[in-house]
Structure 1
């Protein structure tokens, strides 16, 4: 692994880890009032695009980070839909 991919993994771990507390908090509190569904949808599509890009570039760090983040963002969208009071 070259130094560029090492930098990518450090960035991947930090940015992915930064997102996980929001998923956990939303799951525990079921409070989705501050989450915007349009933002979550745009973010999810963007992460899917980054994941595709990572596969096309054969970048393990991009694949790692975006695989976890796509699941996390999907969970937030699921929680937003499930826990929104009608």
Structure 2
């Protein structure tokens, strides 16, 4: 009876060792996948930051262009346009 019990325990121990090896292998794969995904998330986050900076720069450029257009329009309106209106009025 004891011999049978010991044999069963040895069989169970072998199965557990096999299961443990499979679990360790699976953990190694999962660890690699998690590291890969973490790196990808960091890269995506950096890329989003870069794109946001480019977007902000583009908006700043457009605002500067609009301000310059308004300034030029005011100068034309206040200068040459007034002179032309005066010439037409006087004529």
Q: Does TM, scored on the shorter chain, surpass 0.5? A: no
Larger Rg: 2
TM-score after normalising by structure 2: 0.30
TM-score after normalising by structure 1: 0.32
> Higher helix proportion, which one?
2
* Higher relative contact order structure (alpha carbons within 8 Å, sequence separation ≥ 6): 1
